[in-house]
Structure 1
Amino acid sequence: MDAPHFIWQDPDWPAMRYDGAVVGAEVALARRAQGVVEGKLSALGFDQRRTLAAEAWSQEAVATAAIEGERLDLLAVRSSVARRLGVASQPGPSVPRHIDGLLDIMDDAVNLAAAPLSHERLHAWQAALFPTGYSGMSKIRVGAYREHTEPMQIVSGRIGHEKVHYEAPPSSMVAAEMESMLDWFNHDGNGDSLVRAALAHLWFETVHPFEDGNGRVGRVIIDLVLARDSGETSRLMRISQGLLAKREDYYIELERAQSGGLDVTAWVVWFVTQVRAACEQAALIIDEAMAKGRFWRTHGDKELSPRQRKVLNVLLDAGPGGFEGGMSTKKYESLTGTSRASASRDLSELEDWGLLLRAGNGRSTRYYPNIPGWDLRAEAAGRSA
């Protein structure tokens, strides 16, 4: 087994430092992106905002679990989130207790963001992730910090070929280290909130206080800080989804910060950059929601059949270019269970009424939503060429 890359050195955490000018420049970009999101969000109605929040929350839950290698049923997660937010949704599969537990702690972080972060609250969060007291086939300590005497090591790789990335502080030090972190978190109000989220996550992950669940709890701490900072807007900032997309970089940057002394400039800049990217993605999602809203307002007078409305919703939900290959007669048949003749007639009607644009001819004919700015006509022409 490789030697540990970094072993806990008991740093003076409150003395963490970073280059204010370098970090400040990235924070300014992130704040600008956040302001765009807030501005666009204000143009949406309550139901639209709630629907977007429900989908973002569902995707975040799936992503934070996926970072740890756990696959959640997205339909089950959506069903539970819809019930919590009062969003109309089709009934989904039953939700396992550990999924509800994850959603509970994410909800707690946002709805009770102003409440102090305490040992008891962290214990409750971790316990909610493991309602049976087991992680997989292994019994673990839940609702309390770790107590085992062997070193807590962060490893990757198959058995016999593990790589040790980091060795956390011994269990005997965890309570004291967490007391220091919570004292800083609850009483030191200095610095930008985005920077505080970066520092809090790094500090928590470095102490690694629990036997399991540290990654998910650590990312919920991020949710809490962002909710304190931006309230409702934070629901749309899919931080975990972005971290999942860059999981390797995420681990590398954490490892570098844990092994690089008290100067954490590189980590803070990298983290704030991910927040900015999340805001930019949220702005695009809001744009799509606004485009869909305009689409239905424009065509509200059309007497659509249930199957036509279903297919249009599928295309609109996929977003610009999201429904690969466009809508064909064969796909329409499959989605609606109708005959080829009916599918062809339905699609022709939608084109004649101006709801769809057609590209290609014969068997290559494809249909796309008629929404300015989605540029699907050019895309369709390119695919059929």
Structure 2
Amino acid sequence: MDIDSLRDSPIGRLAPIKGHDPRIGKEYEYVAYVPNPLPETVELAADTYSVVIDAAAAMARADQSAALLPNPVLLARPATRREAVSTSALEGTYALLSDVFEADFLAAEDLTSSVSEVRNYVTAAESAYDMIADGQPISVRMLESLQGVLLRGTPSDGPQAGSVRTTQVFIGVGNRNVSSARFVPPPADHRLLDGLLQWQEWIREPSPVPTIVRVALAHYQFEALHPFHDGNGRLGRLVMVLQLMAAGDLRYPVLNIAPWLEQRRTEYQDGLLRVSQTGRWDDWVSFIAAAIHAEALEVIDRVEKLLALRESFRETLRGAKGVSRRIADDLIGYPMITVSLAASMYGVSYQAANTAIAKLVEKGILRQRTAGRYGRIFQSDSVLAVLEQ
């Protein structure tokens, strides 16, 4: 850690730490960075506010695009899985989007470790969206619960999963000495707990500060506190969407922020560190606003392409009625489907669902993804192609 660059930080302080490093079997004495509580207001340049306003406008258009659908939740489902793939990739866990969709139909023991971990994010995110929709405020307890879901069945699953960390962590240290760490967050004592509770209070309190600015500040603070022994990046990025939803700026979780950040991983990581070093918010707020703006435009474009696909399916099925038409309409949210799922979703017999899917295969709208006669999974290649862009 570049101690000299953090020594005079205007928004935090260095605190001495010592302990035993079990990785190398040695005692250590070093320092950790403890961020100050977030400010009630923040002074930003006019150019920064301009970027924020543009991002907010684009996000409003994206939200409105989703709202035009009879069932906007259809778009939230693939959006969550796209976010899961990219936010996990930022932490070094890679999976194909198509494999994550397929995981909905497979037993846990049939999933690779990477797909299982990405699937954990989907479960956690969908649970979080439901909590926000039910009016629950963002809280440390909520995040503890979500972190437990994220780590379920992974190498990091264990006694600390689902709880704020009780040990010191070091960021970017690998197998090297503690002094090689890129960043050392607060000690796991009252300084971490006090900072986390102050963050929780700050994120909940009403404020005239634009939501996107608050999202940027809260994300920095969460990552600087690094409250869990694993999963902080994924949770922190999930909180960004939860903030937008809780504030009413985003009615449906259709905005993917992680794909844009994944393409700019180094800039993203450097930006977080630079805030600690300088205390200057403008570049960081502009960076997060740019991510939201760019991904909001992607949402609008994706919605247009998916709706065009749905219209093409209707044209292909012109004159058809019943279950096949209903399945085709919903493929933008369910690009993979089984006969059993179709029967359950549309309240028809297995035979009726099977006949409908066979018709969609015949028309080239679906194809069978898995071999065999039982547990068959069907997918829409054209929908997946749009989602994977």
| TM-score using structure 1 length | 0.69
Which sections of structure 1, spanning at least 5 residues, go unmatched? 82-90, 323-385
2:288 is aligned, of 271, 285, 288, to: 271
Partners of 1:321 and 1:215 lie apart in 2 by: 22
More helix, by proportion: 1
Distance change (3 Å), C-alpha of 1:170 and 1:4: farther
Could you say which residue in structure 2 is the equivalent of 1:229? 247
1:69 is aligned, of 57, 76, 92, to: 92
Could you say which residue in structure 2 is the equivalent of 1:375? none
Tell whether the 8 Å contact from 2:63 to 2:250 is kept in structure 1 after alignment: no
Letter in 2 for 1:118: S
Q: Is 1:142 paired with 2:161?
A: yes
* Structure 1 residue 276: Cα displacement: 0.5
Could you say which residue in structure 2 is the equivalent of 1:130? 151
Q: Could you tell which deviates more after superposition, 112-121 or 63-72?
A: 112-121
5 Å-filtered alignment, 1:346-357, equals none
Tell whether the 8 Å contact from 1:133 to 1:141 is kept in structure 2 after alignment: no
1:203 aligned counterpart, secondary structure: helix
* Structure 1 residue 117: Cα displacement: 2.5
5 Å-filtered alignment, 1:1-385, equals 6=6, 7=14, 8-14=33-39, 17-19=42-44, 21-46=46-71, 49-72=72-95, 74-75=97-98, 77-79=100-102, 91-92=105-106, 94=108, 98-99=117-118, 101-113=120-132, 114-132=135-153, 134-135=155-156, 141-148=160-167, 150=168, 152-155=169-172, 159=176, 164-172=181-189, 173-230=191-248, 233-261=251-279, 263-301=280-318, 306-310=361-365, 313-315=380-382, 317-319=384-386
Partners of 1:135 and 1:321 lie apart in 2 by: 29
Distance change (3 Å), C-alpha of 1:245 and 1:156: farther
Partners of 1:220 and 1:291 lie apart in 2 by: 29
* Structure 1 residue 68: Cα displacement: 0.7
Tell whether the 8 Å contact from 1:37 to 1:233 is kept in structure 2 after alignment: no
Distance change (3 Å), C-alpha of 1:210 and 1:55: same
What is the number of equivalent residue pairs in this alignment?
306
* Structure 1 residue 268: Cα displacement: 0.9
| TM-score using structure 2 length | 0.68
* Structure 1 residue 3: Cα displacement: 6.1
2:183 aligned counterpart, secondary structure: strand
* Structure 1 residue 75: Cα displacement: 4.3
Partners of 1:70 and 1:41 lie apart in 2 by: 29
Partners of 2:197 and 2:97 lie apart in 1 by: 36
* Structure 1 residue 5: Cα displacement: 5.7
2:39 aligned counterpart, secondary structure: helix
Considering only CA atoms, is the larger Rg found in Structure 1 or Structure 2?
1
* Structure 1 residue 111: Cα displacement: 1.7
Which sections of structure 2, spanning at least 5 residues, go unmatched? 7-13, 15-32, 321-358, 368-379
Taking only aligned residues, the RMSD between alpha carbons, in angstroms, comes to 3.4
Partners of 1:315 and 1:107 lie apart in 2 by: 25
Partners of 2:261 and 2:107 lie apart in 1 by: 27
Could you say which residue in structure 1 is the equivalent of 2:375? none
Tell whether the 8 Å contact from 2:144 to 2:164 is kept in structure 1 after alignment: yes
